[in-house]
Structure 1
Amino acid sequence: MPKKPKHKIEVCFSPHDFDLFKTEFELIVVIDALRATSAICAAFQNGIKSLIPVSTIEEAMVYKEKGYLVGAERNGQLVEGFDFGNSPYSYLNPKLKGETVVLSTTNGTKSINIAKQSENATVVIGSFLNLDHLSTWLSKQDKNILCLCSGWKDKFNLEDTICAGAITTQLLETGKFYSDEDSSVAAKYLFLSAKDNIFGYLKSSSHRRRLKKLNLNNDIKYCLNPNTAPVIPILKGDEIVELKDF
């Protein structure tokens, strides 16, 4: 009988359930595919120095008053008074190269800061944009890994779960990891059902419909285009930086 792999890869559907998982994992992948973690990957692909994720508009405003470049989004829209929202296109601006950017979003930055509360866990950023690059790095880590889906206001969503399923599938295929949770099985099979046309599969998803109403269809297409930003954003203290030379 084959020996069971040493480490596991599991999926948590939303931050609401994170307390049920947080003590078991040394590495947490935060996913907010539409759009925060995609924007973060785009930003590092564009050469920003670092990004500070904050959970509240009040925190974001404090940084704004200190002179930082600050993005803020709520309910899919730019918050008035800030430099940009969380469209990945905003972070492709050449003027951001070498800069430290602050970001606050409805779901993604909240999830990053929730993940940070897990003692001794490494937190990295996942999206479709860095899918293969991240999965290759994850496969080399001798750790239990949790994909934390940001969801929508603590509720399940399809796009984050499909992205988590893609990561889970790649790691299971290495033979180095196993999954026990039904959430991981569900994420894997959702990905396998959607992989040939993720954009089409998500046509009726709640957040895609929400963003489409805001005329953000180009953002959706960008965020669902795999492997366009081969970067690994990693949380170091209160800042996200790019992991290099691994």
Structure 2
Amino acid sequence: MNSLEICFSPELIHLHDLRGKAVVVVDIFRATSTMVTALANGVISIRPVEDLESCRSLQEKGYVTAGERNGHKAEGFELGNSPLSYLHNTYAGRRVAMTTTNGTVAIERSKGHADEILIGAFLNLNATATYLLEINKPVLILCAGWKGKFNLEDSLYAGALASLLQFSYDCDGTLAMETLYQHVQDDLSGFLKKASHAKRLQNYNIEADIDFCLTLDKYNLVCKQVGEEISAQKSPHHY
């Protein structure tokens, strides 16, 4: 049986060996939820970038630029970090360069080490789980957290994915998150609205983003990074 690990923050990634593993990066509120939504709505690819200036410069190469810091759209960017911006194929056929407070940092720290990098969200939870079962590799779920700290929504997603995979694990954190998810899954939205980052976003009057990010299995696609770009592939199965 394959193994599963959860890394609860990019600051802890040095404790894990990524070689030979499929790494699932998750930032529920909101980077990876936004990426999944963009790709499901026709965006060709997303280029994650760690810093603002590098991301902004890609506008000259034809990218739509999306920048967020501390929950707000960064100055000089066309978009912030809302999944709702991409609905109705608004940016279909375009490439997006994205930088965020937490999510793109986690992706950058996985590059060059993992066997492959997937983008996880509640929006494509079952499609991701099915893909991971098919490729038959050990899995590490990397939670973006909040500025290096543990957060509830990413860790609870890790518990949800762990409960679907049923891989072996030797970390109490995985047991804790799987157990917590099973306890709250019938009221996921109600529970996670108590989370610190959800409250932070509520202060910015973007409750619609929160509700959307907690939608289960809206999209039947797997999002994977190849080289510098993240793109989508349809899952071979229908849910």
* Shorter-chain TM-score tier: over 0.9
Q: Tell me the equivalent position of 1:187.
A: 177
Which residue of 198, 210, 215 corresponds with 1:208? 198
Which amino acid is the alignment partner of residue 160 of structure 1? D
Instruction: Trace 1:68-83 onto structure 2 (pairs within 5 A).
Output: 68-83=63-78
- Aligned counterpart, 2:188: 198
Q: CA deviation at 1:24?
A: 5.3
Cα separation, 1, equivalents of 2:146 and 2:161: 20
Assess, with a 3 A threshold, how the Cα gap between structure 1 residues 24 and 179 changes in structure 2: closer, same or farther: farther
Deviating above 6 A after TM superposition, structure 1's stretches of 4 or more consecutive aligned residues are none
Please tell me whether residue 233 in structure 1 is matched to residue 223 in structure 2.
yes
> Partner amino acid for 1:230?
N
1:133-187 C-alpha deviation (Å, 9 max, x unpaired): 1111111122110010000011000000010100000000xxxx21111121122
Indicate conservation of the 8 Å contact 2:23/2:116, yes or no: yes
Question: What does 1:143-158 correspond to in 2, within 5 Å?
Answer: 143-158=137-152
CA distance in 1, matches of 2:66, 2:212: 18
The aligned amino acid for 2:227 is: G
How does the TM-score come out when normalised to structure 1?
Answer: 0.92
Deviations 1:161-214 (A, max 9, x none): 010100000000xxxx21111121122112112211111112321100000000
Unaligned runs of 5+ in 1: none
SS of the residue 2:3 aligns to:
strand
Residue type of the alignment partner of 1:164: A
Identical-residue share of aligned pairs (%) = 40
Aligned length: 236
Alpha-carbon separation, structure 1, partners of 2:195 and 2:80:
21
Asked if the contact 1:47/1:97 (under 8 Å) is kept, the reply is: yes
Q: How does 1:47-66 map to 2 (within 5 A)?
A: 47-66=42-61
Q: Which residue of 2 aligns with 1:135?
A: 129
List aligned pairs for 1:49-128, cutoff 5 A: 49-119=44-114, 121-128=115-122
Give me the TM-score of the superposition, normalised by structure 2.
0.94
- Gaps of at least 5 residues in structure 2 are none
Alignment partner for residue 171 of structure 1, among 150, 165, 171? 165
CA drift of 1:22 comes to 2.9
RMSD: 1.4
> What is the alpha-carbon distance in structure 1 between the residues aligned to residue 17 and residue 81 of structure 2?
27
Contact 2:28 2:121 in 1 (8 A): yes
Aligned to 1:12: 7
Q: Which residue of 1 aligns with 2:211?
A: 221
